[in-house]
Structure 1
Amino acid sequence: MDATLRQIIDRVRGCADRGTALRICGGGTKDFFGPGAPQHAGEPLDMRPLAGIVSYEPSELVVTARAGTPLAELEALLAQHGQSLPFEPPRFAGLGSAGGTVGGMVAAGLSGPARASAGAVRDYVLGVQIINGRGELLRFGGQVMKNVAGYDVPRLMAGAWGQLGVITEVSLKVLPVPPAEATLRFDCDQAEALRRLHAWGGQPLPLNASCWVEDDGQGRLYVRLRGARAAVQAACRSMGGALQQGPGVPGDWNACRDQRLPWFTARAPDHALWRLSVPQTAPVLPLPAGVAPPLVEWHGGLRWVQAPPDAGDALRALAAQAGGSATLFIAASAGKSGVKAVFDAYPEPLAAIHLRLRQAFDPAGIFNPGRLV
């Protein structure tokens, strides 16, 4: 065990003994997320010194990296071998930070435009090494996909926001970059965009990502195709639309991933950004009066909404009626101090499971307290 890891373990044990809260830190790219962000409770525990690629086997499509490894460094290494993280983790580097880390990527569990087709972060986590709330170094999973009995701990860590333990090392499945890619544009309103996406979803098309957005009253649907060259070319012919060409097209999808599109950057300071997760077949949602049309991703399954703080209850109710949920992603600057919840309340049985898990992994509750509640 090297000195850096030993220092982190000793720090956790000391805080556990004293009952001192710890705020697990990486690149700071997601400090905006959570009540009162970025002023979350606890002493900072900087994970960036624990960095580096532990192992990489391109032929086996597996990479293992320490938690503090810059995400950009990992993606650059994969690109040298024609491989990538298919779930397109957001970097949010444009929100005032130097860039995210591998541990933060897993802890946040956030995925980019390709999530609906390629899967989420947790689908690619093969194994993790963590430090629990007792200061014990534990390893779960491995470097292969296999069935498990009981809780799949590596996947539990994805989206736990560090509240189940300090991630120190992660093994990830990676995939080759598809040989062909094309982006099509369709001028249509939101209802027509959803109708098209639903119809295409039932066909053998290489759909990879989609984004509908309204600009100056004109709705536009962008669809990205990825896969075998013949399949992409055939889909372009059968789907129609306007083929988007030029070196800026990949950058536009990166801007969508990192919320740098004009729709995101034009958000009013007194408006919060909400993330509505609903079934892909959900119709156009009747948003509260005065709330602008959403930006729609994931073939209709993700609806981004900008709204004043007092619209939160209405948005939660709309998402629930559609069979989904609403998450407060970025609080309005004027209302951060009054934010009490990021996620919808869990049903009682599920809430009990969450509580038991936290008590098992972090009995003293020292990891990232108040991050989500």
Structure 2
Amino acid sequence: MDVNDPALQFLIDRVAAARSAGAQLCIRGGGTKDFYGETPLGEPLDTTVLEGISSHEPTELVVTARCGTSLARLEAVLAEKGQCLPFEPPHFAAGGTVGGMVAAGLAGPSRAVAGSVRDYVLGATLLNGRGEVLTFGGQVMKNVAGYDVSRLLAGSLGTLGVILEVSLKVLPIAPATATLRFQMSEGDALRQLNEWAGRPLPLNASAWWNGTLLVRLRGALAAVNAAIAAMGGELIEPAFGTAFWQGLRDHADDYFVKAGQAVASGAALWRVSVPPTAPPLGLPGERLIEWGGAQRWVVTAAPAAPVRDAATRAGGHATLFRAVDKSAGVFAALQSPLDRIHRELKKAFDPAGVFNPGRLYPGL
């Protein structure tokens, strides 16, 4: 990046001033994920001043964008070339940015098959707590010798620094897509999903809620048609299928709308990550299952302890995704040595604790 860029210099000066004054900064792009993680603290640091797509090499399947670039704009540019971000980053609302996408590390319905945000990060430029501009990785997959810092930034929620620019691997849009609908119980849906996972089917996404299982197929036309014939179920009209998966991605479908209403009334929306083979967790409240059984949403008024205990018994963990009261802690507690590693990384990149204090954990 050009260190003489006025927008970059603005960010550098803000960080230097905050460090000198012992102040703290809350890194903020479009603000679409302010609800995620612990409550944001510090003076807002607007990253939308640094925007634009630095380069796009369609034949190399690589795009580089600045942190304040609109996620919608990036996806539109890729779509013009028949390409996409395969992990389907959720938008939640208009205005989401590329920097926020990487910092949050959240992926959509195709995550279990396509991979996570970090799997597509090739390189990144970071502004650390000392006001230094650091570059990690590059624009090819095999570019890492030692600690892969660029991918470490995915899910860091801005606690290590300002993600100034990121290079991402992209993929061609699949030539064929279809959605199938089945009526079955939670337990039957989990068993069926695991049975399908062991077969050569072009499964791309799944969602079960209230007795209905929807499955998305993606790939070559012949493979999708063969899977439709082999799996059965009801073939959904394409426009409805597209709208459903987009609504699920952005938490705008019926389940999450109702969950939002429940949260406003004192309940909590939990994101439970478990092995896909785990049986139903038996938790009270409305449940929605994604990622072949690996991601289970639960909106409930139950205390945090039984939710986290159920996740632990199933071999996973629970995150308090949306809630008015976050006193139970948003993320599952870190155990040694992970806790030490997190704190040492924070100390190395942001020794004065300038960025997003406590957004992940106390002291981080």
Same fold (TM over 0.5): yes
Give the counterpart letter for 2:64 in structure 1.
T
Contact 1:129–1:168 (CA under 8 A) maintained in structure 2: yes
| Mapped partners of 1:193, 1:340: distance in 2 | 31
In 1, Cα distance between equivalents of 2:148 and 2:258: 40
1:341: which partner in 2? 329
Map of 1:120-269 to 2, 5 A cutoff? 120-146=116-142, 148-214=144-210, 219-267=211-259, 268=262, 269=265
- Give runs of aligned pairs for residues 110-125 of structure 1, distance below 5 A: 110-125=106-121
Q: Name the stretch that deviates more: 107-116 or 310-319.
A: 310-319
Runs of 4+ in 1 over 6 A off after TM superposition: none
Corresponding residue pairs, total: 354
Q: Deviations over 1:54-90 (max 9, x none)?
A: 0001111000000000000000000001000000000
Deviations 1:229-257 (A, max 9, x none): 10000000001110001422201100000
- The Cα shift of 1:149 comes to 3.1
1:34 is aligned to 37
CA RMSD of aligned residues (A): 1.0
Gaps of 5+ in 1: none
Q: Distance in 1 between matches of 2:275 and 2:245?
A: 22
Match of 1:87?
A: 87
- Tell me the distance in 1 between the aligned counterparts of 2:117 and 2:56: 18
SS in 2 for 1:294: strand
Q: Which residue of 2 aligns with 1:69?
A: 69
SS in structure 1 of the partner of residue 303 of structure 2: helix
> In structure 1, how many angstroms separate the alpha carbons of the residues matched to 2:223 and 2:303?
43
Distance 2:143 2:18 in 1: 35
CA shift, 1:41, in A, is 1.1
Q: Distance in 1 between matches of 2:154 and 2:204?
A: 22
Of 341, 350, 354, the residue aligned with 1:366 is 354
Q: What displacement does 1:311 show?
A: 2.0
Which secondary structure state, in structure 2, belongs to the residue aligned with residue 30 of structure 1?
Answer: coil
What residue identity is the alignment partner of 1:165?
Answer: G
Which secondary structure state, in structure 1, belongs to the residue aligned with residue 246 of structure 2?
helix
Unmatched runs of 5 consecutive residues or more in structure 2: none
Letter in 1 for 2:246: N
Output the amino acid matched with 2:177: E
Matching residue of 2:17: 14
Task: Say which SS state the counterpart of residue 247 (structure 1) adopts.
Answer: helix
TM-score, structure 2 as length reference? 0.95
Aligned identity (percent) is: 59
Structure-2 separation of matches of 1:182 and 1:233: 9
1:204-263 superposed Cα distances (whole Å, 9 cap, x missing partner): 11000000000xxxx000000000110000000001110001422201100000111111
Tell me the residue number matched to 1:51.
Answer: 51
Q: Confirm or deny: 8 A CA contact 1:207 1:223 kept in the other structure.
A: yes
Rounded to whole Å, the distance in 2 between the matches of 1:228 and 1:311 is: 46
- Alpha-carbon contact 1:87-1:114 (below 8 Å) kept: yes
